[in-house]
Structure 1
């Protein structure tokens, strides 16, 4: 034990070799006690770094049970300073082979993150002569081990592996190639070429490799790039035509469902079989049904070309294949629809079965309106039977939800607080829990503390060994940035109730008014911070009976009558009103219903309290917004606002920041508001003035389009909030529609549809903003096209056309006046945007003109840009021509 405590690894190894099994077991209690001591010392400190290797070695040598020895060797707290592998192997000398095999297999079952050295496991397998464990950690370790050897080429290294077949088999069962993907390489010298060479030599069973490759590709899963290993290996194995023919169901499944490169390979195999007459029409139809609805247009076009060749060569296949071709009438791309229609036009005359023609006719309404007349003519259907009367469909406008009253019992409060700490709840859930904490502290503080016991037991600040190195007082007292999340606010309140934070710290946190780190979010974050710090201080010194600012609705809005009732309760109890809580209540109280506001104002004035008088004056006013001006930073369009005196007169200093001017050139280097979960609470600060919140979030939303950041999930909440939806709200939605990530674009589409359903969307304003952003390069046309297509698919074609007709003139004008190389860049993605616009115009029956569209449509060639420009021009001019 002296040798272990001194960190003398070599001496520890020599001394443990002399011990009997009984003596080894007798030392375990001391070793475990030393391990417990070291757990309290950071692993990077000198003592731990010196002692841990000797402790690791001694524990491995002294455990006589295989399970206990494996658990000690792979322990997470010993991982960072393990004993050398050769020392561990010497310490385990003399154990019987069954024991060594058991340890080896137990170590191989540990997760890869445990960091068990492969050399140790492999040596134990070799010494015991046991079957090699084909687990993910062992196989990954083997791949790294083989890849590390550079003295021989890869084929020679693999030839020397005694367990080659089972370990190669383990490659195909790995959950995820993950960080070892790069080790497999590409081309000559890669693992794929080496394994194929070994299969040709007979060292690996070729049929088994083929089966495993196909099975892995069919199973999918794993990492997003795993196919880059298994597909090249399948290609290297060079399947014969007989082998390809035997796997037709597998190729069909891969073509329909696999990732794009794998589906393309499977499609090529099926195409070769079909053109050689070795694929039946039924099998081709099965494969085509899935392929024609894939998102990759290249695959869909290739399949239509293949179907066209087969139909031209084999007229007997028309009845089986033409209905499959017609399935493409429902594809989202109009060019795919037209290709499918051309095939139907070319081969429909061979259809003698009236039932088959009726089946094709049922699919005609899925075509874009410009193609329906042609389809009806070729199928002998009356044109008026396939025309549809357009009706705009918008989702129902979401209604705000009434906030449930605060939980009544301490146990219910504890349950809701625990749920909020485990998951980020919404504003209503947070406010209910907050109000519950306040009410129960006022009524039964001891009962609340007892009910919160299980919740407190999970918090880090209740355990001494997990104490933050800066101290709990410093963390909860820090007001440099404010409380950045709602969870931090709950932690502060719980720590206050638990007695962790001193009254002095709570008082200092409430008194500090400003921060040296100011950013555009500071006004909103300071209001949130000030209210929670006030609640925490009052929990300790003078518990409030209830919260005045508890919202009536999920948006944060507070009904004036409810606020008057709460002030009356304060007067009855002779309780002191919290300044920040009352100020937040004023900002939340509804003022747009003038009749309700006037009635509540009379009741408030009759209370005879300063707060009642202040509320009556506030309700007599109306919500105003500061004037704003556009500013540009690079390609971004942002807004600056002027001063708003209404939010400075009579409000606490923390709240006055909301009424001060904002600048887009303010220093944001020190902005710490990275947690997006707080943004819903910011909207609840000003539930009837979302324009002010949107202006402060505009820079963040711009980042989703310009810098490929995340963060547009707040947009639906912004759309559901109250107040004017003006320039800031529409710019936020515009950036969201051009966001890099699909989830953010979907959130922006939701916001757009909510605004439209509530009659608050100014499509012309939004379109003009988007046109300017596209022209500046802040929004990419292809991303905007994806968002517009998603919105139009819900049935909002007229709404989207109204927006797009104001978007298109700017990029079309830039295209017309640009040099050839610049025009090519400008045209990127514009064809997709024109395609969506054309479909919206066709479906909604829009007519008129778009500036610079005629010049684009008059260009030579048949590029997607020109084709879709002509399609849009014809759709808009159709009625005029008649």
Structure 2
């Protein structure tokens, strides 16, 4: 027993195997307890050289010295021996003398482990071979089998040849259709062709190795179940490779109908083509075609919808008697968002209505025509007998969201336990300004009144932090952490960690003093002024915690937007006066930037109280509150490639009060230029931007100017995530100027849908607050589209989303200033071809003009509408022109 343990420790695996071969089952079982203890010992430091040397031998010995299938399975699949375990061949050698039923049990137990357990396929397959049992069809086994088949190309032959030799082929192929997210594996390395999985499976089916009916049924069932695009693409390709006969297609009409209705576009298109072929050959009943059309015409994919209308036209041309059943299905397209689709559907109805003499059908179609756009509805009045628009239809009411109301911050946490709870939540939600500010204020207040109780309450929160440990480790790790953080906090959670580390003695006071005195070594970039001001308060709070704890924070906002009520700030300064506490400069500076001054009456009243305190801080507050209305800095624009960027000059208001602000806050008064950006900007985390906005809650334009370049990346570089700040920017205070609107313009043309949705939210909030400059935003969008920074299709999607909320007049107000810029080149011949997607943008504009009853002239629209042809661009230009000149009584 001791010799086995010594060999295992030494990592002499071959000698361990030889020794195990000579032991009886009872002797093996007697060795296992010591092997288990050795495993516990190695777990403490699994990556040191001793553990890596011992693990392969331990893996083999532990598997051989147990008799229970469950125990052996657990040992073989253990995560601590996953990367340093023994080879499958050695494991099979030491397990090969067991009974076949036992081996089969272990094989199936291993196969039931998740694929992420990384149990070697060779081990599972070897146990199946030794046991002579059926192959498992679990997720892990099937994935391992697929990878093994890919990897056995060295054996020669095609993929089909290698599969044909597998005695477990039939059940494993059947399991492929039940395995989620397998398409990527089967599609590599060849998506198509004779040596691909689709080619091999189709060939084996043709040779009779695989049952054809079962394979076809499995393919269709897999497509009906849905899944990832890779899965659907692969199984659809296999289905096409099987080349179904007309009888096989006819047997599955119900499946094709379901796929055409609900499947993703590529699958639905195939089902539609199968059904179309059956319909044109008279093998699809009119009832079934009507059922299919009702579903397909409801889909948003225009290609499918148009193909369905073409099919209905062909069927009606061949058999006009089907009009009674099919025309109601055609009328489903009257409500489609695309006016071209509506017009095609109306033409079909007009053409074949005469051959369906039922008055009830005419009445039904006339009622459906009320969903047509105004121009087509007016036409349907004469052709279908539809009711003309009633006078009540002429009215329009814009629907905008309610104006967001800021949320009052709850009082500071009353107990240390509440502070700990708030702090833990703030560490997990770095973009939550409210949670961060309440946690920081709670830490400051309780460190001043009951530091010992606070540390006890915080212990569970910080116990798992990476910088916790014995004193020497804490000192080393925290100083290393501060070396990184000294270049600026990437997010608010990192700043909270600094405060917590200081409370627990992990930061030297000299380090904190140096940061407070000289400031953080932030790299110069367009964001650095915001970053320096945000960081300065946190370094100062940490320093005061280590030297002279503050009784409370002056700068904790009153509202979720970051605004601080002046009366509350005066009360806090009064508390400092009564306690004889020294005000922290950065804390006061942040409070001044947050205090509400837009309510002049409240500001003047608070200024009187502040001056009466007789303190330096009170006098500063009084001067700040009674200062004249801030003058806007000079602004300008510069071009960088396809980008258009905003620049601002010095901020006169902040320059006038420079003496009242610490050095780390003074860069906020300096000019803003996106071209002064350092090559490497560390501010890549999105959550920190919400805290920058709360830094200047009444001067959002100064924040937006520093974010325009980031927002431009959403459209120009296909960036992601930056637009999340836009709704908060729209809800913030101060003027919504050039920077806010230009940033919004870029986000409306963002690559990713979630960014476009955030931009739409911001647009609607600005409109609801009466702060949206529709003319300026529209002109910016036109300029950006013309420069190639924003793609018209993306802009059209954003505009359609905004209009769908009921804001048609708002969207029209923007687009009426965008379109002249884009149509100018078409009208003057300055552009060789219209921008791709311009027709879609015109379609959205036409819908908004129709619904909002807009009237007037759009420069260059008439020339575009007069162009020859019936392209979407020309058709939608004519539609928009007709809507704008339509008589109100029409």
Q: TM-score, normalised by structure 1?
A: 0.94
- 1:234 — aligned with what? 239
* Alignment-derived partner of residue 402 in structure 1: 408
Query: Of 602, 609, 617, which aligns to 1:603?
Result: 609
| Uncovered stretches (5+) of structure 1, i.e. residues with no partner | none
The Cα shift of 1:178 comes to 5.8
Counterpart residue number, 1:296: 301
Aligned-residue offset at 1:526:
1.8
Give the aligned length.
877
Match of 1:828 among 836, 844, 859: 836
2:283 alignment partner, SS class: coil
Higher mean Cα deviation, 453-462 or 47-56? 47-56
Is it true that 1:623 corresponds to 2:626 in the alignment?
no
Could you give the per-residue CA deviations for residues 24-83 of structure 1, whole angstroms, max 9, x where no partner exists? 44544554555455555474x655554443343333333443333333332333222332
User: For residues 462 and 33 of structure 1, do their structure 2 counterparts lie closer, same or farther at Cα, with a shift above 3 Å needed?
Assistant: farther
Partner of 2:270: 265
Distance in 1 between residues matched to 2:471 and 2:83, nearest whole Å: 19
Q: Is the CA contact 1:318–1:351 (under 8 Å) kept in the aligned structure 2?
A: yes
Q: Distance in 2 between matches of 1:320 and 1:412?
A: 68
Instruction: Rate the CA distance shift 1:509–1:153 in 2: closer, same or farther, 3 A.
Output: same
> Of 622, 640, 648, which residue of structure 2 is paired with 1:641?
648
1:338, distance to aligned residue in structure 2 (A): 0.9
Tell me, in whole angstroms, the C-alpha distance in 1 between the residues paired with 2:114 and 2:546. Answer: 47
Instruction: Tell me what 2:748 maps to.
Output: 737
TM-score by length of 2: 0.93
Q: Which moved more, 1:641-650 or 1:294-303?
A: 641-650
Q: Equivalent of 2:101, from 86, 98, 102?
A: 98
Residues 166-175 or 396-405, more deviating: 396-405
User: Does the aligned pair in 2 maintain the 1:534–1:578 contact within 8 Å?
Assistant: yes
Question: Which residue matches 1:862?
Answer: 870
Residues 512 and 25 (structure 1), Cα distance of their counterparts in 2 relative to 1, 3 Å cut: farther
Question: How far off is 1:314 after superposition?
Answer: 3.4
Distance 2:26 2:564 in 1: 74
- 1:559 CA drift (Å): 0.8
The answer as to 2:301 corresponding to 1:277 is no
Matched, 1:76 2:76: no
Q: For the structure 1 residues 248 and 120, does the alpha-carbon distance in structure 2 shift closer, same or farther, using more than 3 Å as the test?
A: same
Q: Distance in 1 between matches of 2:322 and 2:412?
A: 69
Counterpart for residue 371 of structure 2? 366
Confirm or deny that 1:584 pairs with 2:615: no
SS for the counterpart of 2:639 is strand
Counterpart of 2:703 in structure 1 is 693
Per the alignment, residue 211 of structure 2 pairs with 205
Provide the rounded CA distance (Å) in 2 between the counterparts of 1:181 and 1:809: 51
Report the Cα offset of residue 327 of structure 1.
Answer: 1.8
1:442-470, Cα deviation, whole Å (9 max, x unpaired) = 23333333333332234333367998997
Match of 1:758 in 2: 769
Q: CA RMSD for the aligned pairs?
A: 2.6
- Does structure 1 conserve the Cα–Cα contact (< 8 Å) formed by 2:488 and 2:522? no
1:602-645: CA deviation from partner (whole Å, max 9, x where unpaired): 01111111111110011112334432221111111112222225
CA contact (8 A) 1:100 1:124 kept: yes
Cα distance, 1:690 vs structure 2: 0.5
Q: Is the 8 A contact 1:256 1:291 kept in 2?
A: yes
1:725-774: CA deviations, max 9, x gaps?
00000001000000000111111111111111111011110011111111
2:199 counterpart residue number: 193
1:85-137 CA-to-partner distances (Å, cap 9, x unmatched) read 22222232322223322322222222222222211111111111222111112
Query: Do residues 434 (structure 1) and 440 (structure 2) align?
Result: yes
Structure 1 pair 655/133, CA: closer, same or farther in 2 (3 Å)? same
SS state at 1:301 partner? helix
What is the aligned counterpart of 1:323 among 328, 343, 349?
328
Residues 287, 851 of structure 1: alpha-carbon distance in 2 compared, 3 angstrom cutoff: same
Quickly say closer, same or farther: Cα 1:330–1:470, change in 2 above 3 A.
farther
What does 1:308-457 align with in structure 2 at a 5 Å threshold?
Answer: 308-350=313-355, 352-385=357-390, 387-424=393-430, 426-457=432-463
* Inter-partner Cα distance in structure 1 for 2:580 and 2:119: 67
**Cα shift readout 1:852-878 (whole Å, capped 9, x = no counterpart):** 323322322221122222222333334
Cα displacement string for residues 589-611 of structure 1 (whole angstroms, at most 9, x for unaligned residues): 01111001000100111111111
Confirm whether residue 773 of structure 1 aligns to residue 759 of structure 2: no
Task: Give yes or no for contact 1:56–1:83 (8 Å, CA) kept in 2.
Answer: yes
**Partner of 1:383: helix, strand, or coil?**
coil
SS of corresponding position for 1:80: coil
Residues 760 and 230 of structure 1, relative CA distance in 2, 3 Å threshold: same
Q: Cα distance, 1:424 vs. partner?
A: 4.4
Corresponding residue to 1:307 among 297, 312, 335: 312
Q: Distance in 1 between matches of 2:757 and 2:345?
A: 30
Distance 1:800 1:408 in 2: 48
The Cα of 1:211 is off from its aligned counterpart by: 1.7
**Number of the residue aligned with 2:9:** 5
**540 and 363 in structure 1: CA distance in 2 versus 1, 3 angstrom threshold:** farther
Change in 2 beyond 3 A, CA 1:37/1:488: farther
What per-residue deviation string (whole Å, max 9, x for no partner) do you get for residues 393-433 of structure 1?
22222122222222222222222322333344521122122
> C-alpha displacement at 1:355, in angstroms?
4.5
**Counterpart check, 1:791 vs 2:795:** no
**Cross-structure match for 2:225:** 219
- Of residues 124, 142, 146, the one that matches 1:143 is 146
Looking at structure 1, the residues matched to 274 and 280 of structure 2 have their Cα atoms a distance apart, in angstroms, of 10
CA offset digits 1:187-246 (Å, max 9, x no partner): 33322222122223332222221221111111112x222111111111222223233222
**1:753 to 1:60, Cα distance in 2 relative to 1, 3 A:** same
Q: Provide Cα deviations, 1:636-694, integer angstroms capped at 9, x if missing partner.
A: 11122222254333211211121122322224332111110111111100000100110
Work out the CA distance in 2 between the residues paired with 1:118 and 1:470.
Answer: 44
Instruction: Pick from 717, 727, 732 the counterpart of residue 716 of structure 1.
Output: 727
Shift of 1:848: 2.7
Deviates more, 1:768-777 or 1:380-389: 380-389
How far apart in 1 are the matches of 2:394 and 2:13? Answer: 85
CA distance in 2, matches of 1:176, 1:216: 12
What is the SS of the residue equivalent to 2:806?
coil
What SS class does the counterpart of residue 687 from structure 2 fall into?
Answer: helix
